[in-house]
Amino acid sequence: MKYIVWLSRILFGGIFIFSGFVKAIDPLGSAYKFQDYFLAFGIEWMVFLALPLAILLSTLEFIIGVGILFGIKMRWSAWGGLLFMAFFTPLTLYIAITDPVPDCGCFGDAIIISNWETFYKNVIILGAGIIVFIYRNKIKPPWSKTIDHVLIILIAAGILWLSAYCLRNLPIIDFRPWKVGNDVTKLVMPAEEIAEIYLLFENQETGEIKEYPSNDFPWDDPEWTEVWQFKDQRREIIQPYQDAEIDDFYIEDEFGNDLTDFFITKPGYLFIIVAPDLHRTNTKAFEQKIGPLAREAEKHGYPFIVLTGSAFEVIEEFRHAYQTTYPFYLSDEIELKTIIRSNPGLVLMKEGVVKGKWAHRNIPPFDEIIR
């Protein structure tokens, strides 16, 4: 049982630490997932709690995981882990059956798994948690209880600081398709199916069946075509069709023209300000950082645009209020929140490749961006 208990601790603690960490570095992403669930379950009035709950969940997961893995405060860690899984295991079963949201979000954007996979995972973790709970009194840390108190405080403070830092800036690790270095032009296009097609022909005199590649059969031989008749075809899939990794991104002007390819494939640098919701955006950033940056970019001949999910009526009011000279375009609000966890935020692109991303409070001067 000693080895089974150790294996259970490693499994339970490792998964909880990983799950808590990937949520902590992207608190806004976790908050968006909470909002999806609140809307799906018809409890929109709880949306304002999404961010606090997201931070609380990641903090508890991380603390419980570290506690069980290293034997810190085992009485509380074991009880916390068991109650955690006793609540979430039946909840994930219900979610798997009803499927209100396609992705559970249990591992943030780091690992995307289905709702049923989430439930099966939780059943395994629950089993490990029960074993840890049963043998909790035999698990002792190699240090004193005083150090236990200090460690748990440091762990809690550290994970909360990490969440606050990533909330004010950007996630320290970006698991999304728009991370720096990715070529967006490749990610917005689906991978077309590649297949070899074989044609089956039957000899009308002997009944013999022959198979030919679709691009290599004697179709121009009159003697052959008199005897052989087409019967069927067979497809041999070499590469199956795959949806584009980025499938909801577009750039649209006020007349409904799709300008996505025009901007994404544009040679040279492209400055994109992402502001999903102009009602909630940081207006001081537009006045103090974005305005001067836009003037410098335009002076050097670089295109500078703003993408938002707000209606064009809102855009016009905003442009008039803050006297913006650069163009605004419409895009999908959810996709914009995926691009960058800041409202507004700056994305620098060069010929379709993401070269840099900055939260509004960290936008550097033009000379530091283009060196």
> Where is 64: in which H helix or E strand?
helix 50-70
**This prediction's pTM:** 0.83
pLDDT at 1: 79
pLDDT at 317: 93
Residues 109 and 93 sit within 8 Å (Cβ to Cβ) = no
Residues 83 and 64 sit within 8 Å (Cβ to Cβ) = no
Structure tokens at 125: 């973790």
pLDDT at 157: 96
Residues 339 and 274 sit within 8 Å (Cβ to Cβ) = yes
Matching residue, tokens 């603690």: 13
For the domain made up of 260-369, give the CATH fold.
Answer: Glutaredoxin (3.40.30)
Write the Ramachandran bin of 323: left for phi over 0, alpha for psi from -120 to 50, otherwise beta.
left
Q: Which of 368, 336, 338 is closest to 355 using CA atoms? A: 368
* Cα 50 from Cα 342, distance rounded (Å): 16
DSSP conformational letter for 47: G
Q: Which of 302, 297, 305, 299 is closest to 253 using CA atoms? A: 305
Kindly report whether the peptide bond that precedes residue 100 is cis, defined as omega within 30 degrees of 0: no
Q: 3-class SS at 181? A: coil
Q: Which of 53, 344, 308 is closest to 170 using CA atoms? A: 344
Strands (E), 91-165: none
pLDDT at 221: 87
Structure tokens at 139: 């698990």
pLDDT at 200: 92
- What are the domain boundaries of the chain? 2-168, 194-239, 260-369
Q: Which of 262, 371, 252 is closest to 315 using CA atoms? A: 252
Q: Which of 353, 206, 331 is closest to 276 using CA atoms? A: 331
Residue type, 92: T
pLDDT at 310: 93
Q: 3-class SS at 33? A: helix
Digitized pLDDT (tens) for each residue of the chain, 371 residues in all? 789 999 999 999 999 999 999 999 999 999 999 999 999 888 989 999 999 999 999 999 999 999 999 988 888 999 999 999 999 999 999 999 988 888 888 888 888 888 999 999 999 999 999 999 999 888 887 777 778 888 989 999 999 999 999 999 999 999 999 999 999 988 887 777 888 999 999 999 888 899 999 888 888 888 888 898 999 999 888 888 887 788 889 999 988 899 988 898 888 999 999 999 999 999 999 999 999 999 999 999 999 999 999 999 999 999 999 888 899 999 999 999 999 999 999 999 998 999 999 999 999 999 999 87
